[in-house]
Amino acid sequence: MAEYKFTTNWFQWSPDVWTRLVPMLPARAKFLEVGSFEGRSTVWTMEHMLEDGGTIVCIDAWEDLEHEAYRDMSMGSVEERFDYNLALVGTCFAKRKAQKIKAYSQPALGGILGQPGELESYDFIYIDGSHDAPVVLTDACQAWSLLRRGGIMMFDDYLFGDPRDVLHRPRIAIDAFVNIFAEQLVVVHQGYQYAVQKQ
Amino acid sequence: MADYVFTQDWFHWAPAVWQNLLPLLPARKSFLEIGSFEGRSTVWTVENMLDDGGTLTCIDPWPSGDLYGDEARGTAEDRFDHNVKVLGQRFAKRRVEKRKGQSIQVMASLINSHGLEGVYDFIYIDGLHDATGVLSDACLAWPLLKQGGVVVFDDYLWGDPKDILGRPKLAVDAFLNIFAESADVVHLGYQMAVRKR
C-alpha cells in the first residue's frame, strides 16, 4: 500500500492535545485550515477528527518561506506532496472531502466570508499560516467570523520564534486577540499551541 | 435647491484634522468609509477631499430602528440617501458607492476582489465601537489601503475608560503595536490617524 510522503514533523505533539478537544466540538462536519504545507495536519485531521460527509477547506499560497531555516525548501515540491497525500487520504476515506484553495489567507478567507451561509458555520479552524504577528492577527479576526458558537479555533506556534522579536512571531497577536475577544471566547488549551472556544 | 438633512453633529472637529492629512494622501481618487450613518462625514469628504472622477465607498448595515432615528425625518438610511442625492446634484463628477452590509463581510469581499494590492487612498473607520469590531475593521481595512494611504480611526478616546472592551482604544492600540513596521502615526487626539509605510 502507498505511504504518505512527509519531510517534516512539526505536527507530532498536536494529536494528544487535539484528541482531547474533539469531544468539545459542536460537530465534526466543517473544518478550515490556514497553512497546509505538505498536508500532515490535513491528513491527521481527516483521519481522526472529521466525520464521513465532512469537509476541510485547506488554504495555502505554497509560496517560498522567508525564514532562513527553510530558504532551500522548494514549495513547488511541498505542494506536490500535499496533492499526493490528499489523494492518498481520499482513497482511504472517500466520504471525507478536502477543498484546496491556493492563495494568500486574506483574499482566500475574504472569498469564503463573502459567500452566503459561511458566516459562523465552521466547527474547527486551525491557524498555521504566516507567523508574522500582523498576519496572524488578521487571520484570526477573519476566521473568527467563520467559526460557529461552540467551535474551536486552534493557533499553532504560539511560542514560536525569538521572544525578543515580538512582531515576527505569533504570540503578541494571539494575546491581543484573546484579550480583545475575551467576552466571546474561553481558552481551552494553552501550551506551545493555543486553543479558544467560541461562546 | 434641496438642502442636506442632518440630526447629529459628531463630526464638527474632524475637518480641522483632516485638512492636515490631505497633503499626505497618494491621490484623492478612491476612498472608503466604514460607518456612514446619515452621511455627514460622507458629504464633507466628497465636498472637500475627493477629486472629480473619484469615488467614496460607504459601508453601513443601516439597521432598522437605529438608536438615533428621528422618526419625523425618516431613518438614518433615508437621510443618507437624501444627502447623497443632494451631494450628487452639487458634485456630479464625484461618486458615492453605497454598500449596505456588515463591514467585515463587505471588506472581505473587497479583499477577495482586489487581493493584497491596496486600492484606497483614504479609509475612515467609524463602525462598531466595541474593541472586537474596531480590531476586525482595522485588520481588514489595512490590506485595502494603498502604500502612503491614511486610515483615520474615529472615537479613539470614546467611551468609559474602565470599560476597555466596550470602546475602540484597546483595539486601536493593539493594532498600532502589532502593525508598527508598516504604520506611522500621523495624528493622535480624539481621533487617531495612521499612514501606511
Query: What tens digit of pLDDT does each residue of A119-143 get?
Result: 999 999 999 999 999 999 999 999 9
- Nearest CB neighbour to B111, from listed A106, A134, A172: A106
A130 touches chain B (CB under 8 A): no
Q: How many CB atoms lie under 10 A from the CB of residue B90? A: 13
The b/e string for B172-191 (b: 16+ C-beta within 10 A; e otherwise) is bebbbebbeeebeebbeeeb
What is the DSSP track for B102-158? -HHHHHHHHHHHHTTS--EEEEEE-S--SHHHHHHHHHHHGGGEEEEEEEEETTTT-
B182 touches chain A (CB under 8 A): yes
Q: pLDDT tens digits for B1-23?
A: 689 999 999 888 899 999 999 99
Q: Which residue of B has its CA nearest to A107?
A: B112
Per-residue confidence in pLDDT tens, chain A, 199 aa: 689 999 988 888 889 999 999 999 999 999 999 999 999 999 999 999 999 999 999 999 999 776 666 767 788 899 999 999 999 999 999 999 999 999 999 999 999 999 989 999 999 999 999 999 999 999 999 999 999 999 999 999 999 999 999 999 999 999 999 999 999 999 999 999 999 999 9
Q: Tell me the average pLDDT of chain A.
A: 95
Q: How many CB atoms lie under 10 A from the CB of residue A122? A: 26
- Nearest CB neighbour to B180, from listed A167, A179, A183: A167
What is the DSSP track for B113-126? HHTTS--EEEEEE-
- Nearest CB neighbour to A107, from listed B116, B142, B174: B116
Strands B120-125 and B95-100: unpaired
The Cα–Cα gap between B16 and A149 comes to 44
Grid coordinates of A122: 465552521
Distance from CA of B165 to the nearest CA of A (A): 6
Interchain pair A114, B112: CB under 8 A: yes
Distance from CA of B111 to the nearest CA of A (A): 5
Q: How many CB atoms lie under 10 A from the CB of residue B86? A: 17
Say which residues have a Cβ less than 8 Å from residue B61's Cβ, sequence separation at least 6: B100, B101, B102, B103
Task: Describe the crossing of helices A40-48 and A14-21 by its angle, rounded to 10 degrees.
Answer: 40
The Cα–Cα gap between B81 and B83 comes to 6
pTM: 0.95
Distance from CA of A92 to the nearest CA of B (A): 34
- Nearest CB neighbour to A142, from listed B108, B132, B179: B108
The Cα–Cα gap between B57 and B29 comes to 11
Which residues from chain B sit within 8 angstroms of residue A107, using beta carbons? 111-112, 115-116
Q: pLDDT tens digits for B55-114?
A: 999 999 999 865 565 566 779 999 999 999 999 999 999 999 999 999 999 999 999 999
A111 touches chain B (CB under 8 A): yes
A141 touches chain B (CB under 8 A): yes
B140 touches chain A (CB under 8 A): yes
- Nearest CB neighbour to B139, from listed A112, A113, A138: A138
Q: Which residue of A has its CA nearest to B182?
A: A134
